[in-house]
Structure 1
Amino acid sequence: MQRLSFPAMTGVSLIAMATALQAQDATISQTPGTVVLDPITLVSDGQESTEATGGVTLTQADLQALKPADVSELFSRDSAVNVAAGTGPAKRIYVLGLEQSNLAVTVDGVPQFKDSWHHGGSSFVDPAFLKRVEVEAGAAGADAGFAAAAGAVRYETLGARELLTDGRTQGGRASLSYGSNGRGVTASLAGYGVYDGFDWFAMVNTAQGDNYDDGDGNEIPGSEASNVTGIVKLGYEFEGHRVELAYEHSEDDADRPVRMNMNLEDAVYPLKLTRDTLSLTYTETAPSAMWDPELSIYLARQEYARTNFLEGRAGGDFSFDATTVGGVAKNRFDVGVGTVTAGLDWAYNDYSIDNFGDTDVPVHELETMQAGAFVQGRFEFANGIRLSTGGRLDAHRFSDWTGDRRSDTGASVNATIAYEFAPGYEVFAGASRTWLGYDLGEYGYLHARDSSTVTADGFEPATAKNYKLGLNASQGNWTGNVTLFDTRLDGLANAYYPTLDNSEEYRSKGFTLSGNYSWGSGRIGASITKADVSYDGDDLAPVGGEATPFGTVATLFIDQDIPQYNLAVGASVELADRLSGDYITDSGFAEAPGYAVVNAYAEWSPAQYQDVVVRLGVENLLDKAYYERSTYGRNLDRDVTPLYAPGRTVTLGVSMDF
């Protein structure tokens, strides 16, 4: 697989596009009575099936069953995704051992910022608003967005039209919960409706709590929940057209540690994080085979601000923020044997770092500009072959804090092919080569830097390569998947030192194995992921950042409905093996112990109040003291303690639709 070259993948893409266009004529001329094949496993609804290639999909039904309070609970049943402990400002998401900022992350199609600071979290998403989540690990489609180095994460939020049922024109949803162990009170309220061609949706969610204790009873400083999020969507449909204006705001304002992803000292200081996104989107409500467009423009801003910090230290008050404006224009063509999506996207990003520390450069400012063109085809052929392939061409410009400006252009290609060799069984293989432009890494690294900090003369655009090979099976009530993966990231930013330069290669290789069985009123599922993560050919120590040692992680879950009592119950187990070896201890870290964590829930809907749901959830039922694979490790040389996960936490909540 690794010998698959850039020209070879380009050739596959071109041949597939040509074949599909030829097949279109044959499809259009088919006579009535032609047998239409059932939807296939790999390619569905214009997107690759993420689960079919080792990724994660959470539907609205999954989210209703999970009712996650945060992103840790959101991905608690998926071994391929690991989330650090702490509250939102500390939560870093890793997919197959690679940090989320190495994936193309979108919320309702709007690209999200990369992580801005190595001690900060990588997710501002509030699960209360979500209706669907897809994590595409490895080779991503060209229409996933710019710089999809190791895959893509797509979050979709709720809206009015999918919530209104039985011909209703307006409705609402309210929920309130209280949790032990510092979780505190979480409340949300939503209202939505339609009138003539108009529709609206508005929702606010807040969580307020105290510091939690780990499984050993130790209080974790700065771990209190203190966030408010809100979203407003206004839509209008007329004569087959739809326009939607959306605004989202999230804010976390509380006392936090100096470094949010580790326990270095007990002192905490005020920290405020805000994120705002405004977008305008146009689509067709009755598209034709050749005209199914989507046009969007967006404006987003993300800010960090810490004031009243301890005087006399090298670090002090600081703030850094990023602003982006961009857009996407694309159209999906139905070519009979599949679809072809083609379009343009662009984004301008401006970064400002108000330097903490007493240096001769109080503020670092930098900017990037990207413009790209892409085409992605997804095809189902009569001989049992399914193919997703495409490419994109991007131009990227980078201007650093000294006024140094550089620009370059690069191409990306991808191909994933599957063959159903027997009913319900298919093998697949995929590969991609992605051009990432000038990677800025975590721009917060520029804190406390002086005028000696420069960009290296030889600083070049980064690239990524992905390979995957696997088998899918689906028979009756059960499904299974095994995926082998190999992801390589070359030339990412190395901002630890006075010179911004390219880093050596990060690599994650291993496998994921998953299976699910349903018996109508219940289901059981399991997944196991093993990833060997390295940097420059050597096993990686648990230092956080772009990648983390992963080892072997497994999950097991079961759900059961009990209709006669309007009751649903379920449980899940998260397991991880011990991380040990010279690559950890020689770097000054302690070996990471394994863990097994049990979570459970029960959900009841009173017979006389079908729109009311009462839920009792218990996280870390056995009160284990542990820290996730995505957490900065225990550093003996620096007396750093990992950010331990919460101990047993019991939450009782009620929600109501009206």
Structure 2
Amino acid sequence: MDTELTLYNTEASLFQGSYDYAAGTSSYGADLRNKSQLGDHGVTYGMDYRHDEGEFSAPGESYKDVGHVTGLYVQDHYQLTDYLMLSAGTRYDWYQLDEGLSGRSYSESGLSPNLGFSLDATDRLNLHGGWARAIRGPQLKELYLMDTYSYDPDIKEEVADNYELGAIYRYGNLTLTTTAFVSHIDDVVGRSSGMITNLGDLKTRGFTAGIGYDWERVSASLSYSQARPELDGEPLSDGNMGIGTSIGDTWVANLDFQPVDSVDLGWTGRVSERLTTVADGYSEKPGFGVHDVYARWRPLAGDQLTLSLTVNNLFDKQYLDHATYADPLDITAGLPEAGRDIRLGAAYRF
């Protein structure tokens, strides 16, 4: 028996002073799972539950949505040979949403299966891939839409098919990785004509690639990612709230240095390229670059005490992340990312 229980509770709120609008959301839930080894099969099974509440208030009005989802799941990893591992699993989910604006209740349920493999083609090359199908029923809306948009009474659940194929190549201290993916969501849910309804088909194609090298006390890596989400052939925009948006190609570089056994130093640089492929009527998104650094010191034997210093956005860059709603004329426009963020930390292990 290898049982694990996770409990969580989160809350967030936002106040728009110019219009006296307030909105907030809270979630709590649990995940209970167990792992068993049955011969060459490693099986994980369990159940999870999540309860969500969203509230919106403006002068003279207030609305509240309440939703929850319960799921049962099982996942099997089967070591077929010394070189090939297969995986298969499924989960069944029950969705329920009570909407404050319309007073209606919605419910959906369904099965979400998956298949995967991992093949050591040679001592240096690993190939991996898989397919997964997932359903999603109605969930909490964007909080600032709760007073104007209600769910379509005939709304259908979203069904997503996700495909992935990747490779990892290792030669000495060198590691190369690449992964390509395609995601296709039928009946994706979003805003249309004053209602939250099924809009069409959302397809996303993309890939990631990376290179890393380790020396005795220094490691370095560089990764690149690209994704192209399209709704019925049109690039996603910031106006597709509740679905997603388009972001520029992203580069991430890491450099880690351990001058002595008790000290770690590091730097991360992230560059998002200018996004030029945009939907009609939307502006291009400017690129940006951000740098983070850290230092950690473990002065006691056994690494019981760790002292850390982290500086995020080292050069105090003001920018809007590409995934932020960015229309400056809209009252729901996103906020710029945090400026220079300096953090001191201490952790002690008993």
TM-score (normalizing by structure 2): 0.82
Equivalence for 1:377: 76
Pairing 1:597–2:290 present = yes
Report if the CA contact (8 A) 1:533-1:550 is conserved.
no
Structure 1 or 2, whichever has the larger Rg, is 1
Aligned ranges 1:422-433 → 2 under 5 Å? 422-433=122-133
The alpha-carbon deviation at position 633 of structure 1 amounts to 3.5
Equivalence for 1:559: 256
Equivalence for 1:355: 57
For residue 399 of structure 1, the aligned residue among 73, 79, 98 is 98
Could you tell me which amino acid in structure 2 is paired with residue 429 of structure 1? G
CA distance in 2, matches of 1:615, 1:295: 32
Pairing 1:619–2:313 present = yes
Residues 440/612 of structure 1: CA separation in 2 closer, same or farther (3 Å cut): closer
Report if the CA contact (8 A) 1:532-1:551 is conserved.
no
Pairing 1:509–2:205 present = yes
Equivalence for 1:574: 270
Superposition RMSD in Å: 3.5
Residues 319-344 of structure 1, C-alpha deviation per residue, up to 9 Å, x if partnerless?
A: 444454x5444332211213112233
Q: How many aligned residue pairs are there?
A: 345
Could you tell me which amino acid in structure 2 is paired with residue 554 of structure 1? W
CA distance in 1, matches of 2:307, 2:189: 48
The alpha-carbon deviation at position 598 of structure 1 amounts to 3.6
The alpha-carbon deviation at position 554 of structure 1 amounts to 0.6
Could you tell me which amino acid in structure 2 is paired with residue 528 of structure 1? Y
Equivalence for 1:51: none
Report if the CA contact (8 A) 1:471-1:481 is conserved.
yes
Report if the CA contact (8 A) 1:605-1:613 is conserved.
yes
| Secondary structure of 2:200 counterpart | coil
Report if the CA contact (8 A) 1:352-1:363 is conserved.
no
The alpha-carbon deviation at position 638 of structure 1 amounts to 6.1
Aligned ranges 1:186-335 → 2 under 5 Å? 287=1, 292-294=2-4, 298=7, 300=9, 302=11, 304=13, 306=15, 309-310=17-18, 315-322=19-26, 324=28, 326-335=29-38
Residues 391-446 of structure 1, C-alpha deviation per residue, up to 9 Å, x if partnerless?
A: 12223333333443343331111111121111131112211110112243424421
Aligned ranges 1:67-82 → 2 under 5 Å? none
| Secondary structure of 1:505 counterpart | strand
Residues 598/337 of structure 1: CA separation in 2 closer, same or farther (3 Å cut): same
CA distance in 2, matches of 1:301, 1:366: 16
Pairing 1:549–2:249 present = no
CA distance in 2, matches of 1:341, 1:456: 37
Which structure has more helix as a fraction of its residues? 1
Could you tell me which amino acid in structure 1 is paired with residue 313 of structure 2? E
Residues 196-242 of structure 1, C-alpha deviation per residue, up to 9 Å, x if partnerless?
A: xxxxxxxxxxxxxxxxxxxxxxxxxxxxxxxxxxxxxxxxxxxxxxx
CA distance in 1, matches of 2:4, 2:331: 52
The alpha-carbon deviation at position 544 of structure 1 amounts to 6.9
For residue 633 of structure 1, the aligned residue among 305, 326, 330 is 326
Aligned ranges 1:429-444 → 2 under 5 Å? 429-444=129-144
The alpha-carbon deviation at position 632 of structure 1 amounts to 2.9
Residues 43-91 of structure 1, C-alpha deviation per residue, up to 9 Å, x if partnerless?
A: xxxxxxxxxxxxxxxxxxxxxxxxxxxxxxxxxxxxxxxxxxxxxxxxx
For residue 48 of structure 2, the aligned residue among 345, 354, 374 is 345
Could you tell me which amino acid in structure 2 is paired with residue 318 of structure 1? A
Could you tell me which amino acid in structure 2 is paired with residue 524 of structure 1? A
CA distance in 1, matches of 2:21, 2:319: 32
CA distance in 2, matches of 1:319, 1:624: 28
CA distance in 1, matches of 2:295, 2:30: 43
The alpha-carbon deviation at position 468 of structure 1 amounts to 0.6
| Secondary structure of 1:562 counterpart | coil
Report if the CA contact (8 A) 2:229-2:245 is conserved.
yes
Could you tell me which amino acid in structure 1 is paired with residue 44 of structure 2? T
Report if the CA contact (8 A) 1:439-1:461 is conserved.
no
Residues 465/520 of structure 1: CA separation in 2 closer, same or farther (3 Å cut): same
Which structure has more strand as a fraction of its residues? 2
Residues 440/503 of structure 1: CA separation in 2 closer, same or farther (3 Å cut): farther
CA distance in 2, matches of 1:322, 1:395: 20
Aligned ranges 1:423-502 → 2 under 5 Å? 423-447=123-147, 449=148, 454-495=150-191, 497-502=193-198
Residues 613/497 of structure 1: CA separation in 2 closer, same or farther (3 Å cut): same
The alpha-carbon deviation at position 485 of structure 1 amounts to 0.9
CA distance in 2, matches of 1:400, 1:432: 30
Unaligned runs of 5+ residues in structure 2 are none
The alpha-carbon deviation at position 657 of structure 1 amounts to 4.3
Report if the CA contact (8 A) 1:436-1:462 is conserved.
yes
CA distance in 1, matches of 2:337, 2:26: 30
Residues 230-268 of structure 1, C-alpha deviation per residue, up to 9 Å, x if partnerless?
A: xxxxxxxxxxxxxxxxxxxxxxxxxxxxxxxxxxxxxxx
Aligned ranges 1:516-555 → 2 under 5 Å? 516-543=212-239, 545=241, 546-555=243-252
Unaligned runs of 5+ residues in structure 1 are 1-286
The alpha-carbon deviation at position 463 of structure 1 amounts to 1.7
Report if the CA contact (8 A) 2:91-2:112 is conserved.
yes
Report if the CA contact (8 A) 2:97-2:138 is conserved.
yes
CA distance in 2, matches of 1:605, 1:619: 25
Residues 441/382 of structure 1: CA separation in 2 closer, same or farther (3 Å cut): same
The alpha-carbon deviation at position 656 of structure 1 amounts to 6.8
TM-score (normalizing by structure 1): 0.46
